[in-house]
Structure 1
Amino acid sequence: MLKKVLLSTDVTLACVQHALSTEKEEIMGLLIGEVHNNGSVVSIVSSVILRRLDKKPDRVEISEEQLVQATLKAEELAAELGRPLRVVGWYHSHPHITVWPSHVDLATQFMYQRMDPSFVGIIFAVFLTEQSTKAPSVQITCFQSINEGSSQTRKEIEMEIINNNDSLMANNFEILTQLPVILKEEEDEAYNNEVGLTESEDIINKQHNDAVRTIAIGHIVEKMSRPMLEALVARNALNGVRLRALKKRHQELMAKMENMSCNV
């Protein structure tokens, strides 16, 4: 029986950024990791951001093709790292609503658990406001489904966010930087679908559709690309400070070892 989930900080960052990309519809993705201790612990080390098949405010869907693509990605990482990685769960967002899974979420989760008892679901509730401070907050829950007659109920799973696995850091940052590209592809698809439905549209409709697409792409740049770039620049600067401190410490230790050798 699954008891605990270990979620890496890089995956948490990617999922939260994905969840904050829109406050009108839910987003989703799949989680890659490995199962330990006869299924009692799931360690999540990477994620796969999925394009939405249909933009809905209250539900998400994962196609068989997307699941196959995520499985292939897990196999690639497994071969690269020599670890038994596979798809171990899914995540999605709840913008402006409670973090608890809906009956649709529970049914979806139960369906996956029938194929894999250790499969987990994680929900990121975003664009919430703390009543006491009026500050925005993000809530996270990890769950499985328990079948009770003709319906399912929620079972909370203990979750711990752990430090990054260095061997997967580059992969997880690549996933994070893919997010704006995926969001733009969604907007391009929506635009092309709308244009295809109204090929004989007049110039007013065309200008309207063009303006909507431009605003959407501007939103991606303002809310995702620019903050992400600023965060990566800041992190790079911090890593530079840490590197200089480590080099200085290394020089001090080498000097100390030389003095000890001389004294001997």
Structure 2
Amino acid sequence: MAATRVNLTADAYMVCLTHALSTEREEVMGLCIGEIDTDKVVHIVSVIILRRSDKRKDRVEISPEQLSFAASEGERLAALLKRPLRVVGWYHSHPHITVWPSHVDVQTQSSYQLLDECFVGLIFSCFNEDKASRQGQIQVTCFQSINQSPEGEAPMYERVEIPLEVMQCDSISPSCMDALVQLPKILSQEEQEAYENAIRAGNGDLLNNIHNGAVYTKAICHLLEVMSGSLLQALEQRLNRNEDIIERLVAERERLMKQLEPTS
């Protein structure tokens, strides 16, 4: 184990969670942008949402081109914010299953750690119900892989849980806001690509084309319902809260300015 702890900003956490809750049919995946200090504490400040090349209920894959794009995006943010930012981890969702990483997750994590020993993995388990309270619950874990095999033998990797803390922040960073805005667009692109592949596979059959068109329309309407509407509502609530804060601060400023006025 190389990383000692992970600090995840609240706005980056919100983006990851919003992405994880966007679908309960397949897993989603993205990459984490941040920096690593001298104590090997990983500070995650933003995320990059990537288009999936393979969508399954129990597995998710992205293309090498997407990984290259993420590395370039990390360099762009580093230059913009004048901080040593880079890709420091990955996250994916576990809809309807436990939060613990599968053997495939552990193996994938081990391959990432070959490039960076402090590289971490986050898993968001969602769409599960607590049996006692019968309420929905969301769980998050952070892990790395460790080889438990003796030297000279075939590697056997096991997960090691890394302490994770969500750090409070008063605003949404521009990079996290951009990720939230891009999320519905990326999910729509995935649905469009699936629709076009189905049309090509149908060889021009009219009934198949009608069926695929209806499925595509339903998928886009679902995205508008669960993503765009709820995201807009959340941002409007945050705007209202910020306006209330500004109003209180202005009133406090006026009160203090009156106290500074010389008494007659």
TM-score by length of 1: 0.94
Who is 1:157 aligned against? 162
* Partner Cα separation in structure 2 for residue 256 and residue 170 of structure 1: 37
Letter in 1 for 2:260: M
Match of 2:177 among 156, 160, 173: 173
Who is 2:190 aligned against? 186
1:132-151 alpha-carbon deviations (Å, 9 max, x no partner): 11111110000000012232
TM-score by length of 2: 0.94
The runs of at least 4 aligned residues of structure 1 exceeding 6 Å deviation read none
Q: Note the 1:14-93 alignment, pairs <5 A.
A: 14-38=15-39, 40-93=40-93
C-alpha contact 1:45 1:165 (8 A) present in aligned 2: no
Match of 1:249 among 229, 248, 252: 252
SS at match of 2:180: helix
* Partner Cα separation in structure 1 for residue 203 and residue 257 of structure 2: 73
Deviation (angstroms), 1:165: 7.5
C-alpha contact 1:8 1:165 (8 A) present in aligned 2: no
* Partner Cα separation in structure 2 for residue 73 and residue 165 of structure 1: 24
Who is 1:206 aligned against? 209
Change (3 A) 1:105 1:3: same
Letter in 2 for 1:254: M
Letter in 1 for 2:35: E
Who is 2:145 aligned against? 145
C-alpha contact 1:145 1:153 (8 A) present in aligned 2: yes
Who is 2:201 aligned against? 197
* Partner Cα separation in structure 2 for residue 133 and residue 221 of structure 1: 30
SS at match of 1:37: coil
* Partner Cα separation in structure 1 for residue 186 and residue 61 of structure 2: 16
Deviation (angstroms), 1:250: 1.2
* Partner Cα separation in structure 1 for residue 176 and residue 87 of structure 2: 15
The number of equivalent residue pairs is: 258
C-alpha contact 1:32 1:45 (8 A) present in aligned 2: yes
Who is 1:234 aligned against? 237
Deviation (angstroms), 1:32: 0.1
* Partner Cα separation in structure 2 for residue 76 and residue 177 of structure 1: 18
* Higher mean displacement: 56-65 or 130-139: 56-65
Percent identity reads 48
* Partner Cα separation in structure 1 for residue 156 and residue 215 of structure 2: 41
Pairing 1:218–2:190 present: no
* Partner Cα separation in structure 2 for residue 207 and residue 232 of structure 1: 36
Deviation (angstroms), 1:219: 0.7
SS at match of 1:33: strand
* Partner Cα separation in structure 2 for residue 134 and residue 14 of structure 1: 26
SS at match of 2:66: helix
* Partner Cα separation in structure 2 for residue 196 and residue 223 of structure 1: 29
* Partner Cα separation in structure 2 for residue 193 and residue 80 of structure 1: 38
C-alpha contact 1:99 1:123 (8 A) present in aligned 2: yes
1:39-82 alpha-carbon deviations (Å, 9 max, x no partner): x2000000000111011111122332111111111111111111
Which structure has the highest helix share of the two?
1
Who is 1:123 aligned against? 123
Contiguous gaps of at least 5 residues in structure 2 = 150-154
C-alpha contact 2:51 2:62 (8 A) present in aligned 1: no
Deviation (angstroms), 1:199: 2.8
